[in-house]
Amino acid sequence: MQYRRCGKSGIQLPAVSLGLWHNFGGTDVFENGRAILRTAFDNGITHFDLANNYGPPPGSAEGLFGRILQTDFKPYRDEMIISTKAGYYMWEGPYGEWGSKKYLVSSLDQSLQRLQLDYVDIFYHHRPDPNTPLEETMRALDLIVRQGKALYVGISNYQAAEARKAIDILQQMGTPCLIHQPKYSMLERWIENGLLDVLEEKGVGCIPFSPLAQGLLTDRYLHGIPADSRAALGHFLKANDITEQRLLQLTRLNAIAESRGQKLAHMALAWILKDPNITSVLIGASKVSQLQDSLKCLDNIKFSPEELEQINTILAEH
């Protein structure tokens, strides 16, 4: 495993981190999730990313991870970076989502109970709140660190201008923003329009999620839509997202990947990691073999200028 410094902090994260957004809920097979987590740690993945609402049902991913922490990882807690988040809908009533101090503090207390931990390493505000003053949300993150419930704090899904404001407020309070978690892939590049510049300027790390565009940037859809795929099931990816133009684009990208001795998924992950301002990339896995395969992206994360020009040309055409 390669490790990268997170902004200007003392923390290093593995180049590949494991997200528990899917496949670790109450409806999933416990022993399968356990095997994935053990394999990840044995391969140098020290960072495990959760949120209060991950499941389904919401909260169950934290509960599963907490059980496995106690049975398998308790002696290794100090070798692990564990993160969770709050911001999306979690419980009924006026205090169960968004960015109030009431919600964020209460949600983390619940998360710690499910995780069976005294603290998490990173706590994120999961999405901006248009109705709560940003100062209140950032004060909540500052309070959480001062209470000892999180070592570091971060933000997720913030655009460049609002990220800059949040980072500056936290800096003034003496609780620096460690990291930003945005959606980023070859097919969704909005963070290149200012956000990456802000993070570099402010010394904040970056850990993209959905780097494979919910599976589009793999070879699964090159020859049709498999019956058990996310597109077929309508899980975050719809069949009508896979147009003829998109398939042509993926086929051309796949040809470049093959010329590099990689699968399309490996190249898509490597393409993100080519940027030194990216701290880590968050992957998901539904089985051990899928996790092991994803780690092959680290075998070649360098691109020639010609390869990058070809890729940008293909991506610009859609």
Q: What is the predicted pLDDT for the residue at 228?
A: 60
Q: What is the pLDDT of residue 92?
A: 97
Cβ distance 83 to 151 under 8 Å?
A: no
Classify residue 105: in a domain, yes or no. Answer: yes
Instruction: Tell me if 258 is assigned to some domain.
Output: no
* Res 65: pLDDT: 98
The pLDDT assigned to 238 comes to 65
Classify residue 238: in a domain, yes or no.
no
**How many structural domains compose the chain?**
1
Q: What's at 300, amino acid-wise?
A: N
Quote the CA–CA distance of 317 and 201 in Å, as a whole number.
31
Peptide bond into 276 cis (omega under 30): no
Q: Identify whether 252 is part of a domain.
A: no
pLDDT of residue 211: 98
Q: Are strands 205-206 and 177-181 parallel, antiparallel or unpaired?
A: parallel
Could you tell me if residue 245 is inside a domain? no
CA distance 72 to 68: 5
Does 131 reside within a domain?
A: yes
Lateral strand order in the sheet of 281-283: 205-206, 177-181, 150-156, 120-125, 81-86, 47-49, 16-19, 281-283
Query: Using CA atoms, how far apart are residues 144 and 309, in angstroms rounded to an integer?
Result: 45
User: Tens place of pLDDT for every residue, the chain, 318 residues?
Assistant: 999 999 999 999 999 999 999 999 999 999 999 999 999 999 999 999 999 999 999 999 999 999 999 999 999 999 999 999 999 999 999 999 999 999 999 999 999 999 999 999 999 999 999 999 999 999 999 999 999 999 999 999 999 999 999 999 999 999 999 999 999 999 999 999 999 999 999 999 999 999 999 889 998 878 766 556 555 455 566 667 778 889 999 999 999 999 999 999 999 999 999 999 999 999 999 999 999 999 999 999 999 999 999 999 999 986
Is residue 298 helix, strand or coil? helix
Q: To the nearest 10°, the Cα dihedral for 39, 45, 46, 51? A: -90
| Structural domain contains residue 32 | yes
**What CATH number is attached to the domain comprising 132?**
3.20.20.100
In a domain, 70, yes or no: yes
pTM: 0.94
Structure confidence at residue 236 (pLDDT): 61
The pLDDT, as a whole number, for residue 271 is: 98
pLDDT of residue 244: 87
Range of the domain at 198: 3-214+275-300
Tokens of residue 178, six digits: 């460690």
What integer pLDDT is reported at residue 242 of this predicted model? Answer: 78
CB 7 within 8 A of CB 18: no
